[in-house]
Amino acid sequence: MTAAILGLAAVSFVISWIVTFAMIRFAPRVGFVDKPGHRKIHHNPKPLGGGVAICFAVVLPLLAVVATAWIFKDPANACAPYLGGVRLKTPLALGLVLALLAMHVMGLFDDRKAMGPYPKLVIQLAVTTLLIVSFKELRILTTLGPAPSIVLTVLWVAAITNAFNFLDNMDGLSAGIAAVASVAFLVTALSIGQLFVAGLLALLLGALLGFLWFNFSPAKIFMGDSGSLVIGLLLGVLTTLTTYLPKERPWGAGWYAVFAPVIVLAVPLYDLIVVSVIRLSRGTSPFVGDTNHFSHRLVARGMSRRTAVLCLYLLTAATSVAAIILPHVQSTFAAILIFCQTMLILGVVALLEQHPLPMPPAALDEPPSTGETNA
């Protein structure tokens, strides 16, 4: 089954590569470009529309798998058990497709003509809430009761969505970190036998790699909000859908495994929190873009934009390796060591961040986000 899941990643990669290649040529013809301007130092318009490739590369194969599961229902089929599982998950799959398309369309409107941060936030929360309310299996901490569980789940998914929206501030950064996180979650899902989640993660991974082929520095195309919001929503939802515990492990013996997604996404969440605090302390909206991201500070310290992005890839990979191990750890002491390791990595990030503020955009050699909310 692992080979079939990797096959999904290959299909998604091909779709993403082809659509991204096409958008690089099509987007400028219809004026769908990111123009030089405030806080952006690229001198020529850059095509937008990478988000179209990412969305299509996830949604189209997912719909094809669902259709296949309902067409081939013969019990004698060797894949019958797996296709039966897909049929059981069909309502969730279709609900997720609708949510992703809603977020994608909103992102396209914003990429074309800025909507403003608060209308976008309201729509994000509305889409996320509707999805969480509709599907109980997506909720976290259900022991607290329906209402608290829904609220906490919506806040978690919204945080991840905006974390990847914020990360879209350098060539290849948001998509690359999402790819690293997807690998970590994919390995975890396969190791605990969650094939539906693994299939979705494989689709996302292939879509990200196909887009990164053209987006890694120097980028030929940007994803825009139509891509970053889709990535964040899908990763956020999949982290809530995963149990993180092997089936044979009792909850009491591995409760700490639920923190695996926090550890995998520690760097994006750290950046989201720090940047938001800085903006609020200055009396500005946390959704108005600036150059206070960790990636910008690394460049201001003298790194090239490519080196800064690779640095963030490696930091995310470092926390991800620990998170993959966490569900299989046999003692609370070992889990505490993993948490401590994550905090030490974030401590290194905090030290590297120490740089005088504000930083003039001219000091940077990378255009700030085309995807961050209202950026």
The pLDDT tens digits for 206-246 are: 999 999 999 998 899 999 999 999 999 999 999 999 887 76
Q: What is the pLDDT of residues 195-205, one digit of tens each?
A: 899 999 999 99
Please state, rounded to an integer, the average pLDDT across all residues of the chain. Answer: 86
Residue 219 DSSP symbol: P
Name the more confident of 355 and 372: 355
pLDDT bucket at 279, cuts 50 / 70 / 90: confident
pLDDT bucket at 278, cuts 50 / 70 / 90: confident
Q: Omega into 358 within 30° of 0, i.e. cis? A: yes
* Residue 359 clears pLDDT 50, i.e. is over it: no
State how far the Cα of 234 lies from the Cα of 370, in Å rounded to an integer.
Answer: 20
Distant-in-sequence, close-in-space partners of 271: CB < 8 Å, separation ≥ 6: 163, 166, 167, 293, 294, 295
* Residue 269 clears pLDDT 80, i.e. is over it: yes
pLDDT bucket at 247, cuts 50 / 70 / 90: low
- pLDDT in the model for residue 367: 39
Distant-in-sequence, close-in-space partners of 42: CB < 8 Å, separation ≥ 6: 34, 36, 367
pLDDT bucket at 272, cuts 50 / 70 / 90: very high
- pLDDT in the model for residue 254: 63
* Cα 281 → chain centroid: 27
pLDDT bucket at 294, cuts 50 / 70 / 90: confident
User: Token digits for 374?
Assistant: 């209202």
Q: Looking at 39-53, 89-103, 158-172, 174-188, which range is the least confident one?
A: 39-53
pLDDT bucket at 297, cuts 50 / 70 / 90: confident
Is residue 108 a contact partner of residue 227, using CB atoms and an 8 Å limit?
no
Listed residue (180, 195, 196, 172) closest to 324, CA to CA: 180
pLDDT bucket at 374, cuts 50 / 70 / 90: very low
Alpha carbon separation from 337 to 36, 331, 343 (Å, rounded): 46, 10, 10
* Residue 65 clears pLDDT 70, i.e. is over it: yes
Q: Report, as an integer, the average pLDDT of 292-315.
A: 89
Is residue 102 a contact partner of residue 129, using CB atoms and an 8 Å limit?
no
* Residue 186 clears pLDDT 90, i.e. is over it: yes
- pLDDT in the model for residue 328: 82
Q: Report, as an integer, the average pLDDT of 155-181.
A: 94
